[in-house]
Amino acid sequence: MQHQGRLGNLTREKPTDFCPQTEPLNPKAHADLERRLALDFQDSGYKHKAYDALSGAIQVPTESYDDLGPVGEDERWETFGQLHEYLEKTFPNVFEKLQVTKVNTYGIVLRWKGSDESLRPVLMTAHQDVVPVEPATVDQWIHPPYSGHFDGEWIWGRGSCDDKSDLVASLHAIDALLKHGFEPKRTFVWAYGFDEEAAGTEGAGHLATYLEQQYGTHGFELMLDEGGSYGTPYGDDVVFAVPALSEKGYLDIRIEVSTKGGHSSVPPKHTAIGILSSMIVAVEENPHEPELVRGGSPYNSTMCAAVFGPSYPSHIRKLALKAGYGDDEALHDLRDALLETFPRFEAILRTTQAVDLVQGGVKVNALPEKVSAVVNHRIAEHSSVRELQKHMTDTILPIAKKYDLSVDAFGVSVSAGSGQGGRVALSDAWGTALEPSPVTPTGKDDPYQILAGTIKATIESSEGYNAKGIVVAPLLAIGNTDTRYYWNVTKNIFRYHHLHENDRYNGAHTVNEAVRAEGWIESIRFYTKFVLNVDENL
């Protein structure tokens, strides 16, 4: 899916050109090494040792919280030191033979120096932290959330899917390659953050700065982080793998209304809370318009599904092909059909907004003088922070005029009411505004081809594989990962988690998080194959 800029236009001749595919890629120079690794991964003793390693990591409750203070000032970070001790004891070969650097105390950097210093290094990441377990839900877990219990099929516990599975799988991959004497030509670096589930500022924020200082801007050939997975959404005959090549932007907007106080026995017609409520209603009644843009990630992933998905709805397939051949009316109808048929496109095709925090009032007989709400936004690939700010300002202005409020919109005074009724201020709640990410290129000579080929080869060679085909269909990540901090270290950022959708018991961030043990071994196989392919093909 070659992009021509973010909103590029495409001209195609054949339907398959709408979703170009690469061939499975297996190591050639390292073919014998990979055969030996395959025997290791099939061994029951090896598997159970690997399961034990993941189980032990899950048992360390490395929860990250939104209100954590800086490292060194908040003792809750200390649990990560316990995890480090466990990892170093479990993988002694890795921590002895690779260069180890600790960044901001708990960020881990592992550097495996290659023999050819002229080659740009490769970066792979994961995160050590997990979302907290809600105490009220503990009794709903089949097995305790930090038990790491292996029942013969599933490994249970918080982090089994997000993201200790990637963390431990990557360490197993390094350990296996070391055991067989692999010596890379290219330098490989692994960076493990520790607050991805919060803001990432203490972990990946510091790691990215350190790595840019060490290797320079765009000093890495590529980066692989957590992200999309693989499965059979359109029938069992074809496997779809969906690495994310871009992410939505992010902005929390605070709406703060200030009015005169007084005794609640003599109230105005509308208190500050009432005024704020009308603004919240207006925000929810004015959602952002969805857009499907040729050349954008949602469009490209749709074309892949339309061309290769056996059970993809025929009416949407027809619209997609018409749109692919340049029919603008069909493109408009395709957007509407996607929204009607697949609810997830409500979040994919538009900037989303969710009113998540409301504060106001201190006493029942005192009129509130300052009240606020925070609206969380995930900014669509085709939009921007500035466009979102304008949309919010335009939504709030009529209400401000109605109640005679002055308006400060993101530091700029905007003409509205006189201010006799009070003031409304719109602001970036925590200074975390983030534009939509750059889109990773997918040209025939780009590193993406190695990722796609490795994904195909790993799935194709997996035990029990019987599908008729594998399609790699890049998509847009609607959440935000640690990759937001790494834009300056490489232009080739891949967000992918090599795990089948059926190998996650109940997903992540909820009760009964668990990973199917046999399926998780495939993650280790993928990492080793990826390292070998990158080392001999880039």
* Domain at 96, CATH number: 3.40.630.10
Range from 80-89, 157-166, 411-420 carrying the lowest mean pLDDT? 411-420
Look at residue 515 and tell me if it is in a domain.
yes
Catalytic one of 129, 221, 291, 381:
129
* Residue range 287-297, pLDDT digits in tens: 999 999 999 99
Rounded-to-integer distance, Cα 198 and Cα 132, Å:
10
Rg value, the chain, Cα: 25
Q: Does pLDDT of 4 surpass 50?
A: no
How high is the pLDDT of residue 263?
A: 95
Rounded-to-integer distance, Cα 140 and Cα 286, Å:
38
Q: Which of 166, 171, 158 minimizes the C-alpha distance to 64?
A: 158
Look at residue 176 and tell me if it is in a domain.
yes
Q: Which of 331, 340, 335, 332 minimizes the C-alpha distance to 350?
A: 335
The DSSP code for 232 is -
What phi and psi, each to the nearest 5 degrees, are found at residue 244?
-90, 130
Which of the four pLDDT bands, split at 50, 70 and 90, describes residue 13? Answer: low
Q: Which H or E element spans position 258?
A: strand 249-258
Q: Judging by DSSP bridges, how do beta strands 352-360 and 405-409 pair with one another?
A: unpaired
Q: How many residues does the chain have?
A: 538
Q: Which of 494, 495, 514, 496 minimizes the C-alpha distance to 161?
A: 514
Determine whether 129 is an active site residue: yes
What CA–CA distances, in Å, run from 506 to 53, 127, 501, 512, 513?
21, 20, 10, 6, 5
Q: Are 504 and 497 in contact (CB under 8 A)?
A: no
What mean pLDDT value characterizes the chain?
95
Helix (H, G, I), strand (E, B) or coil at 424: strand
Q: Are 167 and 525 in contact (CB under 8 A)?
A: no
How high is the pLDDT of residue 415?
A: 87
The total domain count for the chain is 1
Q: C-alpha 475: how far from its chain's center?
A: 11
State the alpha helices, DSSP H only, in 342-483.
Answer: 345-348, 385-402, 448-460
Q: C-alpha 231: how far from its chain's center?
A: 18
How high is the pLDDT of residue 9?
A: 41
Q: Give percent of the chain with pLDDT exceeding 70.
A: 98
Q: Does pLDDT of 191 surpass 50?
A: yes
Look at residue 77 and tell me if it is in a domain.
yes
Catalytic one of 34, 163, 175, 196:
196
Helix (H, G, I), strand (E, B) or coil at 103: strand
Q: Does pLDDT of 99 surpass 60?
A: yes
Q: Does pLDDT of 8 surpass 90?
A: no
Q: Does pLDDT of 441 surpass 80?
A: yes
Residue 358 is which amino acid?
V
Look at residue 113 and tell me if it is in a domain.
yes
Q: Give percent of the chain with pLDDT exceeding 90.
A: 95
Residue 351 is which amino acid?
T
Range from 88-92, 315-319, 474-478 carrying the lowest mean pLDDT? 474-478
* Residues contacting 305, CB < 8 A, separation 6+: 233, 234, 240, 312, 320, 473
Q: Are 291 and 382 in contact (CB under 8 A)?
A: yes
State the alpha helices, DSSP H only, in 31-101.
Answer: 31-42, 44-58, 79-90, 92-97
Domain range for 230: 24-235+480-523
Find out whether 127 is annotated in a ligand binding site. yes
How high is the pLDDT of residue 417?
A: 86
Q: Are 77 and 106 in contact (CB under 8 A)?
A: yes
Average pLDDT over residues 429-452: 96
Look at residue 444 and tell me if it is in a domain.
no
How high is the pLDDT of residue 416?
A: 87
Rounded-to-integer distance, Cα 455 and Cα 476, Å:
18
Look at residue 195 and tell me if it is in a domain.
yes
- Tracing tokens 């308006």 back to the chain, one arrives at 407
Rounded-to-integer distance, Cα 261 and Cα 258, Å:
9
Determine whether 67 is an active site residue: no
Is the four-CA dihedral 208, 210, 213, 214 of positive or negative sign? Answer: negative
What CA–CA distances, in Å, run from 404 to 274, 418, 422?
14, 6, 7
Average pLDDT over residues 187-212: 97
* Residue range 356-401, pLDDT digits in tens: 999 999 999 999 999 999 999 999 999 999 999 999 999 999 999 9
Tokens linked to 468:
């008729």
Rounded-to-integer distance, Cα 5 and Cα 296, Å:
9
Look at residue 415 and tell me if it is in a domain.
no
Look at residue 127 and tell me if it is in a domain.
yes
